[in-house]
Homo-oligomer: A and B are copies of this chain.
Amino acid sequence: MNLIEQARLAKKASAQVRILTSEQKNKVLRDFADGLVSQASYVISENDKDMEAARAAGMSTAMLDRLMLNEKRISDMADGIRMLADLEDPIGKVLEERTLKSGLQLKKVTCPIGVIGIIFESRPNVTADCAALCFKSGNACVLKGGKESYLSCLAVTSVMKEALKNNGITEDAVMLAERPSHEETQRFMECREYVDLLIPRGGKKLIQAVLKNAKIPAIETGAGVCHVFVDESADLDMAEKIIVNAKCSRPSVCNAMETLLVHASAADTFIPRIVKTLQEKDVVIYGDEKARALCPSLKEAEEASWSTEYDDLIMNLKVVGSVQEAAAHIEQYGTHHSESIITENDENVLIFMNSIDSACLYHNASTRFTDGFEFGLGAEIGISTQKLHARGPMGLQELTSYCYRLEGKGEIR
């Protein structure tokens, strides 16, 4: 089916999904989770076909690992969906309630957004996460995954559609794009008539392509050039522990540290120590002149280094003269994602937090905590690095809008 036609049907379905009760929605989600487990062998066999084609096409081992589904991964997907079913319904919450001067009783109530289009790469579990998040928040969704994972995604969505059908709900609530052409995808990204929000999930290239081509409100997600700043009064043991965690615990994710800034007063003591620790963990470090004077083994940082998201065991190291200079560097080169200050000086915490315009600002903690699960949101649909609508980890609440309901007794203006 044509992608625009799928979007039209999703729009129609969204009117039904919008008014489902929490019980109805949670029942579907639990059936979806059970279905994934009971039909795991079917899902895995479809995934095998994707894997085979991908291997034949020469896909890298890392990418093959992202594509692969096994019983454990399917059972994790199901657990995630069950967790979502247990969360509070984000729809119908009264955010404000007051009497206007005209006498009208105003209620500001959360409601679904409508149809959410999600454009993602090859991980099939994204299909399950997104379908479940959108459905729980009363939205219909149109999912467009990478073509290399098509059969896997089709298997996962067919289980969701079965759960919908068995509960008397239209299967059009969850749509998987059927390998649309480039032109179709472009028209989809311009289709304000049927799609209310676009969320790109994936690498920088994918996100930038969506932002460049979309005519629908879209949310920028993902890019993370995150910083840790070690202030002059920092507890250096704590700083070392945090830095190792922020860089090494999972370097491929967007909340990993890319640049370490060290106050000049702490540089002589701390830089040789932290460089030794990181190099023992195979981290490649690009340093500025001052850092390299202390540790000649560092590679030379170039202007472009400071704005690079390595997503790997690679990082930058720079000496700064003050918290203000650290903040200015982060504002200039960062992506407004997550930054941390390690300090015992509360005044500097305030300067750091007030001067930096990032989604998440930490004091004495690792940047790795910027995550929907860690923030207690349940699953997340992405991490917004823009400032409109949602910022930072996006969970169920961020997939809602609101409307005003006004109760009168014949009021006129």
Q: Which A residues form the contact surface with B (CB < 8 A)? A: 15, 18-19, 98, 100-102, 104, 106, 111, 113-114, 192, 196-197, 211-212, 215, 217-219, 235, 238, 241-242, 244-246, 249, 331, 353-355, 357-366, 368-370, 374-376, 386-389, 391-392, 401-413
Contacts and interface: CB of A to CB of B under 8 A. Distances in A.
Given A19-B354, A369-B413, A388-B389, 4 more contacts: A15-B355, A242-B412, A364-B409, A366-B411
A353 B92 CA distance: 12
Contact of A374 (B102, B235, B376, B410): B102
Contact of A406 (B101, B219, B238, B361): B361
B376 A401 contact: no
A361 B410 contact: no
Given A241-B410, A249-B412, A388-B197, A369 B102 contact: yes
B357 A114 contact: yes
Contacts of A410: 235, 238, 241-242, 364-365
Contacts of A374: 100-102, 413
B217 A369 contact: no
A250 to B, nearest CB: 9
A100 B376 contact: yes
Contacts of A369: 100, 102, 104, 406, 411, 413
A217 B386 contact: yes
A392 B404 CA distance: 8
Nearest to A244: B412
Contacts of A392: 403-404
B406 A401 contact: no
A100 B365 CA distance: 12
A97 to B, nearest CB: 12
A-B pairs, top 10 by smallest CB distance, nearest first, are: A365-B408, A245-B412, A387-B401, A389-B389, A217-B388, A238-B410, A368-B413, A365-B411, A364-B408, A360-B404
A342 to B, nearest CB: 9
A359 B375 CA distance: 30
A70 to B, nearest CB: 25
A98 B376 contact: yes
Contacts of A412: 241-242, 244-246, 249, 365-366, 368
Contacts of A18: 354, 357
Contacts of A218: 217
A314 B402 CA distance: 31
A110 to B, nearest CB: 11
A282 B355 CA distance: 58
